[in-house]
Amino acid sequence: MQSFDYCNRTKIIFGKGTVRRTGAECALISRRILLLHSGGHVVKSGLLDVIKETLEANDVSYIELSGVKPNPLLSKVREGITIARENNLSLVLAVGGGSVIDTAKAIALGAVYDGDVWDFYDHKREPENALNVATVVTIPAAGSENSIGSVITNEEGPWKQSVDSELIRPVFSILDPVLTYSLPDYQTACGITDIFAHIAERYFTRERHAELSDEFCEGAMRTVIRNGRKILSGSRDDYYARSEIMWASTIAHNNLLSSGRIGDWGSHMIEHQLSAFYDIAHGAGLAIIMPAWMQYVLETDKTEETVLMFAKFAKKVWGVDGAYYDAYQAAKEGIFRFKNFLRSIGMPTSFKDAGIGTDKIDAMVAEVVKFGSVGHYIELKSEDVRKIYDIASSL
C-alpha cells in the first residue's frame, strides 16, 4: 500500500427533498451568489424555481447564468468570470451535472485571478485562490460534486484540458435522487458508464497490496452494474436504485478509492480528445475507449501480473467462474461481459456505433500526448494511443 494523504471537506447532503435545503446551506457561506445552470430541463421541470425560492427565503441574492453545454466551453467560463467580478459574488452554485459543476469551478478560479483562466488548464500556472463552489446535482456521472477536478474545452483548439486543485472542491453538494428520475435513458447510461470508468481507472493499478481499496472498487462496480441494469430495464422511478447510482457516482470519484494506489487514467485521457473533437458525451466516449484499452493492454502486456489483474476483474466484478476458465480466458471473458453490459444499456462500443469516422485520429493522438505519455498501468506513447483508437474504430 502506498502512502497517501486524504482529506475531503465537502459536506454531502443526500436524500429525497434535500434540494429544499439549498438556500439555508448557501446562506452559511455567502449572500451573493452566481446561480449557474444549463437552462432547459432544470427550468422546465420547475427545479430552478424551487431553488430560487429557498435562496430568497434565506436572503441570498443571486445572479443567474445559463446555457452551459455538455463538454463545457471556455467562452461560457469567461462570461461567468465577468459576471462574478462585476457583481462581487463569492459563491458559485452549480445546478446540473459535471459540465455545469466544472464550469462553476473554472469561474471560481478565474474570478480571483488577474491573468487568463486557461493558464491553469494549460498547466502554465498553479491556482492560489478561488471563490467557493457548491452544487445541486441533477446528473450522477462525473462525480465533480465531491472532486478537486474540472475539465474544460477551449473551442479555439479544440483543446480539452483539466485542472486539479483542492481550492475548487465544493463546500457542499446536494444529492437528491428524485431529481434524476426524469433523465433520458441515454443520459442515465452515459452517467453509469462514467461512474464505472472512474472506479475502473482506479482499480487497474500495479499496486498489489491495496486490498481494502480493491474490495471497495469491486463492491462499487457490482453496485453500479446491478442498479444500472435495474433502472435501464424499466425501473426509472426506483428511488433505491437511483440512490445507489447517485451515491456510487460521488464515491467513485472523490478519491477514497485511490487510497494507497495509483490508478491508470489512460482511457480518460484518450477519451477526452474523442469527445472534444466529435462532441459526443463523455460517457459514450468511455464506452468506446475503455474496452479497447483493456483489449490492447491484455494483448500487448501478456505478463502474469496483467492476466491475473484482468482475471480478477472478471471474477469479482463479472462473476466469471474460475473453475471453468484458465486465467487468460477468464480475463478475456471479463472484457467481453463488460462490453456486453455497455451494449445492453444502450452505449456505443465502437467509432462506428457512434457514427464517428477515422479522419481525425492523427490530430487526436497529437492532443492526447501533448504533455507526454499517458496512463500509469502501462505508459502509452503516441503509437499505443493510435492502436487503441484503431481497435475502437475497427470493431
The rounded distance, in Å, linking the Cα atoms of 236 and 182 is: 8
Nearer of residues 60 and 257 to a second copy, judged by Cβ: 257
The stretch among 188-196, 208-216, 343-351, 363-371 that binds a second copy (CB under 8 A) is: 208-216
| Closest to a second copy by CB, 41 or 202 | 202
243 binds a second copy, rule: CB under 8 A? yes
Our CA angle for 18, 24, 25, nearest 5°, is: 75
Instruction: Report how far residue 79's alpha carbon sits from residue 83's, in angstroms, rounded to the nearest whole number.
Output: 6
User: Given candidates 126, 179, 186, 251, which one binds a second copy under the rule CB under 8 A?
Assistant: 251
Task: Give the residue, chosen from 123, 124, 209, 302, that forms a contact with a second copy under the rule CB under 8 A.
Answer: 209
Structural contact between residues 192 and 245, judged by C-beta atoms closer than 8 angstroms: yes
**Is the Cβ–Cβ distance between 106 and 117 less than 8 Å?**
yes
Of the candidates 80, 170, 260, 375, which one interacts with a second copy according to CB under 8 A?
Answer: 260
Q: How far is CA 10 from the centre of its chain?
A: 17
Would you say 216 or 351 has its CB closer to a second copy?
Answer: 216
The stretch among 65-73, 103-111, 216-224, 373-381 that binds a second copy (CB under 8 A) is 216-224
Cα gap 376→345, rounded to integer Å: 29
To the nearest 10°, report the CA torsion of 316, 202, 390, 185: 70
**Residue 206 is a binding residue for a second copy (CB under 8 A):** no
Over its C-alpha atoms, the chain yields an Rg (Å, rounded) of 21
Per CB under 8 A, the segment of 240-248, 353-361, 366-374, 384-392 that binds a second copy is 240-248
CB 288 within 8 A of CB 354: yes
Of these, 122, 218, 353, 390, which contacts a second copy (CB under 8 A)? 218
Q: Can you give the binding site for a second copy, defined by CB under 8 A?
A: 1-18, 209, 211-212, 215-216, 218-220, 222-223, 226-227, 239-240, 243-244, 247-248, 251, 256, 259-260
